[in-house]
Amino acid sequence: MDDTFHGDLIYLFAFALAGLGFALGPFAVVYLLAPRQTRQTANKSLQAIECGMDPIGDAWIRYSAVYYLYALVFVAFAVDVLYLIPVALVYNDPRFAIQDFIEMALFVGILSLVIVYAWKKGIFEWKRNPTSPNS
Amino acid sequence: MEAQPDLSQLVKDCSPIVRFGLLDDWLALARANSLWPLTFGLACCAIEMMAAGASRFDLARFGAEVFRPSPRQADVMIVAGTINKKMAGAVKTLYDQMPEPKWVIAMGNCAISGGPFVFPGQYAVVEGVDKLFPVDVFIPGCPPRPEALIEGILKLEEKLTGKRRWPIVKPE
Amino acid sequence: MRVVNEKDPNPKMKDNGAPATPAPGAPAPEPRPNPLAHLPLPFQAVDYNLKGYHLEAAVQPGQVAVAAGYLDSEGFSLDTITGVDWLAQGQMEVVYDYFHPTRGLRSVVRARIPRENPEIPTISQVFPGANWHERETHDFFGIRFLGHPDLSPFLLPEDATFHPLRKDFSA
Amino acid sequence: MIVSEPISRSVAGSAPNETFVLNLGPQHPATHGVLRVKMTMDGEYVVRAEPVCGYIHRMQEKMGENRTYAQYLPNTSRIDYLSAMNYTHGLVGVVERAARIQVPPRAEYIRVITSELNRISSHLVWWGAFLLDLGGFTPLLYAFDDREMILDLLEGITGARLTYCYYRFGGLYNDVDETFLKGARRFVAHMRPRLKMYRALVTENVILRKRLIGIGPISAEMCRKYGATGPVIRGSGVSYDVRRAEPYSVYPELDFDIPAYPEGDSMARYLVRMDEMAQSLRIIEQALDKLPGGPVMAEKVPRVLKLPAGDYCYAVEAARGRFMVRVVSDNKEIAYRLKLRTPCLSNLSLFEEASQGMLLADALALLGSLDLVIPDIDR
C-alpha cells in the first residue's frame, strides 16, 4: 500500500507542477523575450479600442439584461458538453449500450430545456426593456 | 501644422531583455512570413490594397492576407490614403495601440508626402505620415499597383530578415 | 404668404461675374411655358443647353425658406446648396439647386447677403437633407444659417474657426 | 405556463436602461473608409446614429479655385475613385457645355462604353464589400476576379487601373484600339453567365434574404426630402436616373431601362444594382455595335479655356447617384467657384433617420446597402 501510495503522490505532484508550469511559463517567456514597451506618439497604448477614437462615456452602466441571459444559455451548453466528455469514457460498456444512450439523451434533454425557456422569454429576439428610451 | 512630435522618445530601444542570436533569426523569419496588416484603407489606395488581397494578386502567397481590423492583432499598419488633420489623432491612437514589434508601410503619394493634395495654402492634409510616426517602407504611386504593394511587403520582409528570399523582377 | 416680386434691391450685376440671367430685353430664346408659373416666385426660364437648369429665381434672403416650402409642395428634391463669395461686390451668394425626381425639372433659387455678417434663414425644417449642406456652407464661408439645429463644423475639425473658401482666406 | 411577459421587465425592475455611445469609428471594416458614426445604443438597438464626416476632407473644391480646368481633371477621378470615368465626364461636360464645344460622335460612344464599364466595376466592388459586411467572404473574390478583366480593358487604353484621366475637353485622350473592342465584347459574353451565377450563389441564398428583406425601409418621400439619388431612390420605387431625366452624351440613342423596386428595403437596393449591371452590359453591347468612325477629338479646342461669365451645371449618373458639377466662372481660365454635388453625401444624410430603432447588425446592412465612398462625402 505504501509504495503505490507514494507513487501516486509523486505522480499527482508532478502533474500539478506541469499544470503550474503551463500556466506561468508563458508569462516568464514573454517577459524575457518580448519587447519591453511599445513606441507611442500619443500614449494611448492602454486605451480601449474604439476605432481610433476616445471611448465616450463609461462602460459600467445598466444595459439590457438580455446580454446576461444570452451568456447564460452559452454557459448552460458549455457545462453540458463538459459533462459529456467524461461520460463517453465511462459509459463505453457494450452490454448497456441502449441504457447508456437513454441516460445521456435524458441528460441532454433536461439541459436543452434552457433553449425552450430562453425562446419563450424572447432572449433570442433581443426583446427590449419596455421602459427603455424609445422602444 | 502642429508642433513636430519629438520622435526622439519614439526610437528608444524596445528590444527584449534576453536575446539569442539564432532564435532572433527564426523569430524574424516567422514574423516576416506572417505580417498581419491592419485594415486601414483611407481612400483610393485602399481599393488597390483590396485588389492586392483578392484573387488575382493574392497577398496570401506572402502570408499577409489576414487583414486585422483591431490594432491589437496587427503587425504592420499599411497607411493607404490621405491623412488629414482631423484624422491625425485617430491615426496616432491606432499606432499606439498596436503592440510591438510593429511596422508602418506608407502606401501611395498621399501617405508619403500628401500627394496631389499639397498646394500653397492647403489647410487640411498632413503632408506625409512620417510626420506622425516612423515609417519603414514607402510605396510611391497614385494609387500604386497591387504589384507595388507586394514589392513593398517584400521590402519590409527584407528589412526584417536581412536577406531577400524572393526574386527581384527587373522591368525589362 | 405671397412672395412680393419686387425688384432685387441690390443692382443686377450684369458687368462682371454676375449670374447672367437673360435680361428681359435680350433676345431671350423662344418663351418656354414656365411650368412653375403658378408659384408666386419670380422664376425665369433659362436656356437649359447652356446653363444646365431650367428655371431660376433670385429671391430675397428672407424668402428662401418660403421658396423651399413652395418647391417642396411642388415635389422638388434638394440637390445642393452652394455658397459663392463675391469679394468684389462685398456680397455672398447662396444658390439652392433643386431637381424633380419624376418630372426631371431643374430649378435654382439664389439669394444674396451682405458679406460682413452673412446670415440667411435655414431650410432644414422643410428639407432635412439641407442640414448637412448648410453646415458645410457654414464651414467653408462662415454663412450663419438662422434656426439651424447644429451649426458645428461638418467637414473641418471640431475646433476649426477658419473659413477656407472665402476669397480672403490664407492658410 | 407562467412564462409570459419578457424577462427584461421582471428582472430590470423599474429603472430604464442607460444608453451608451459606441464609436463606429473612422477605422472600421464596415464603413469602407473613414466615416465615423456615433451610435447611441440601448443594448442592441440603435437609439440615434449620428454620422461624423470630414476625416478624409481633401479640399477638392478649394483646389478647383487655384488650378485651370485642365489641371483639375485628375482631381475628378479621386473624388469617387470607383466611378472615376463618370466624375471626369461631369467636369468635361460642364466645360463643353459652357464653352459650346462639339464632341465628335465616336468620342461620345467611347465615353458611354467606358462609363458603363466603370459602373460595372464599381458595382462589383460594392457587391464584394457589402457581402463582406454581412459576413460572406467568398463573393469578394469572385467580384474582384471579374473586375480585374474590366481593369485590364481600361488600363489598355487609359494606362490607369483606378484613377483614369481619359476624357479631355472636346473628346478623348486617345482612340480605342482593336484589342479593347474585342476585349469588351469578350467581357460582355463572359459577364452575363457570371451574373446568373451570382444570383444563384448569393441572391437566392436564404441567409442573405433574411438579412436584407424588410431591413432599413426608406420611403420615396424620405429619399426626396434628403435628396438621395441613384440606386437608393430607385430602390424606393422612383425610377429617377440622370441618363433619362437629363439626357446627356448619346444615352438617348441607346435602349436600356431603369430598374426600380418599390419595396425600399436593403434587398430592393441590392436588386437594383444587380439589374443595373445587366443593363450596363446591354448598353455596352449596343454602343459597341453603333460605334461610328471618325476623330475622337474636336478640332480647334483652345489650349487655355476661358468660360464666359456665369454659372453652369452638368449632371451625370454616377454609380452611386447623381453627380453634378456647378461652375461659377468670371471669364478667367480658373473657375471662380467649383461646386461638386456628390451623391453619397445625400444618400448618407438619411441614415440617421432611417436607422432609428434598428438592431446594430441591421443598421450595418442598411449602411452597406447605401453604397458609400467616403471621399465622395468629404470631398
What's the per-residue H, E or C state across chain A? CHHHHHHHHHHHHHHHHHHHHHHHHHHHHHHHHCCCCCCCCCCCCCCCCCCCCCCCCCCCCCCCCHHHHHHHHHHHHHHHHHHHHHHHHHCCCHHHHHHHHHHHHHHHHHHCHHHHHHHHHCCCCCCCCCCCCCC
B11 → chain A, closest CA residue: A39
More confident residue, A63 or B156: B156
**Residue D285 within a domain:** yes
D253 and D339: one domain?
yes
Q: Which sign, positive or negative, has the C-alpha torsion D66, D70, D71, D73?
A: positive
**CB-CB contact of D116 with D122 (8 Å):** no
- What is the structure's pLDDT at C37? 77
D26 and D101: one domain?
no
D204-237 pLDDT tens trace: 999 999 999 999 999 999 999 999 999 999 999 9
**Residue D2 within a domain:** no
Assess whether pLDDT exceeds 80 at residue B34.
yes
Q: Does D have 3 or more CB contacts under 8 Å with A? A: yes
Residues 85-114 of D with CB under 8 A from A: none
Give the one of B51, B82, B86 whose C-beta lies nearest to D54's C-beta: B86
DSSP calls for B117-133 = G--TT--SB-S-GGGTS
Residues (pLDDT < 50) of chain D are 1-3, 8-13
Burial (Cβ within 10 Å: 0-12, 13-18, ≥19) of residue D257:
exposed
Give the one of A61, A65, A129 whose C-beta lies nearest to D20's C-beta: A61
Task: Give D293's DSSP letter.
Answer: -
Separation of alpha carbons D25 and B171, rounded Å: 41
Separation of alpha carbons B31 and B23, rounded Å: 12
Task: Find the helix or strand (DSSP H, E) in which C74 lies.
Answer: helix C64-74
Assess whether pLDDT exceeds 70 at residue C17.
no
D87 and D211: one domain?
yes
**CB-CB contact of B114 with B82 (8 Å):** yes
Cβ-count burial B64-100 (b if 16+ within 10 Å, e if not): beebbeebeebbbbbbbbbbbbbbbbbbbbbbbbbee
What nine digits make up the cell of D132? 463582406
Assess whether pLDDT exceeds 70 at residue A133.
no
Ranges of each domain in chain C: 43-120
**Residue D354 within a domain:** yes
**CB-CB contact of D366 with D355 (8 Å):** yes
CA distance B136 to chain A (A): 14
D44 and D192: one domain?
no
Cis peptide before B101 (omega within 30 of 0): yes
CA distances to B120, C54, D269, D328, D362 from D337, in Å: 18, 21, 34, 5, 40
**Residue D1 within a domain:** no
The answer to whether D7 contacts chain A (CB < 8 Å) is: yes
- What is the structure's pLDDT at D40? 92
Report percent pLDDT > 70 for chain A. Answer: 93
D149 and D96: one domain?
yes
> Which residues of chain D neighbour B119 with C-beta distances below 8 Å?
63, 66-67
- What is the structure's pLDDT at D290? 94
D38 and D103: one domain?
no
Ranges of each domain in chain A: 1-38, 61-135
> Which residues of chain D neighbour C17 with C-beta distances below 8 Å?
309, 328, 330-331, 336
B120 → chain C, closest CA residue: C171
Cβ-count burial A8-39 (b if 16+ within 10 Å, e if not): eeeeeeeeeeeeeeeeeeeeeeeeeeeeeebb
> Which residues of chain D neighbour A62 with C-beta distances below 8 Å?
12, 15, 17-18
Q: Which chains touch B (3 or more CB pairs under 8 A)?
A: A, C, D
D273-324 pLDDT tens trace: 999 999 999 999 999 999 999 999 998 888 888 999 999 999 999 999 999 9
Best residue in B2, B84, B85, B86 for a mutation probing chain C (most C CBs within 10 Å): B86
Task: Find the helix or strand (DSSP H, E) in which B107 lies.
Answer: strand B103-107
Strand locations in C36-156 (E): 43-45, 55-58, 77-86, 91-99, 106-114, 119-121, 144-146
CA distance B147 to chain D (A): 12
* Domain CATH code at residue D353: 1.10.645.10
**Residue B111 within a domain:** yes
Number of domains in chain D: 2
Separation of alpha carbons B74 and B37, rounded Å: 6
- Vertex B137 angle, CA B134 and B139, to 5°: 125
Cβ-based neighbours of B48, under 8 Å, separated by 6 or more: B80, B107, B143, B144, B145, B146, B149, D161, D162
Task: Give D101's DSSP letter.
Answer: P
3-state SS, residue C115? coil
Strands D171-172, D36-42: pairing kind: unpaired
* Residues B99, A31: C-beta atoms closer than 8 Å: no
- Kindly list the residues of chain B whose beta carbon comes within 8 Å of any beta carbon in chain D: 38-44, 46-48, 50-51, 54-56, 69, 71, 81-82, 84, 86-87, 90, 94, 116-117, 119, 121-125, 142-143, 145
The residue range of the domain holding B149 is 37-161
**CB-CB contact of B81 with B108 (8 Å):** yes
* Residues D162, B143: C-beta atoms closer than 8 Å: yes
More confident residue, A4 or D108: D108
Tell me the mean pLDDT in the region A6-29: 92
- What is the structure's pLDDT at D303? 85
Closest CA to D262 of D240, D223, D224, D236: D236
Separation of alpha carbons B163 and B19, rounded Å: 20
* Residues C77, D224: C-beta atoms closer than 8 Å: yes
Strand partners of residue B77: B38, B104
More confident residue, C14 or C129: C129
What nine digits make up the cell of A7? 507513487
The answer to whether B96 contacts chain A (CB < 8 Å) is: yes
Closest CA to D181 of D209, D213, D208, D157: D157
> Which residues of chain C neighbour B88 with C-beta distances below 8 Å?
none
- What is the structure's pLDDT at C22? 38
* Domain CATH code at residue B63: 3.40.50.12280
D285 and D356: one domain?
yes
Phi, psi of A25 (to 5 degrees): -55, -55
Separation of alpha carbons B26 and B6, rounded Å: 33
The residue range of the domain holding D46 is 7-50
* Interface size between B and D, measured as CB pairs under 8 A: 102
CA distance D123 to chain B (A): 13
- What is the structure's pLDDT at C6? 37
3-state SS, residue D68? strand
What nine digits make up the cell of B138? 514607402
Tell me the mean pLDDT in the region A44-73: 85
> Which residues of chain C neighbour B121 with C-beta distances below 8 Å?
169-171
The answer to whether C171 contacts chain B (CB < 8 Å) is: yes
> Which residues of chain D neighbour C106 with C-beta distances below 8 Å?
246, 313, 315
Residue showing cell 404668404: C1
**CB-CB contact of B121 with C170 (8 Å):** yes
What is this structure's pTM?
0.88
* Residues D33, B43: C-beta atoms closer than 8 Å: yes
Strand partners of residue C113: C92
More confident residue, C5 or B75: B75
Separation of alpha carbons D368 and D224, rounded Å: 20
Strand locations in chain D (E): 20-24, 36-42, 45-52, 167-168, 171-172, 310-318, 321-329, 337-341
Assess whether pLDDT exceeds 90 at residue A19.
yes
Task: Give D335's DSSP letter.
Answer: -
D173 and D42: one domain?
no
- Vertex D144 angle, CA D142 and D148, to 5°: 120
D164 and D93: one domain?
yes
The mean of the pLDDT values for chain D is 91
Report percent pLDDT > 70 for chain B. Answer: 92
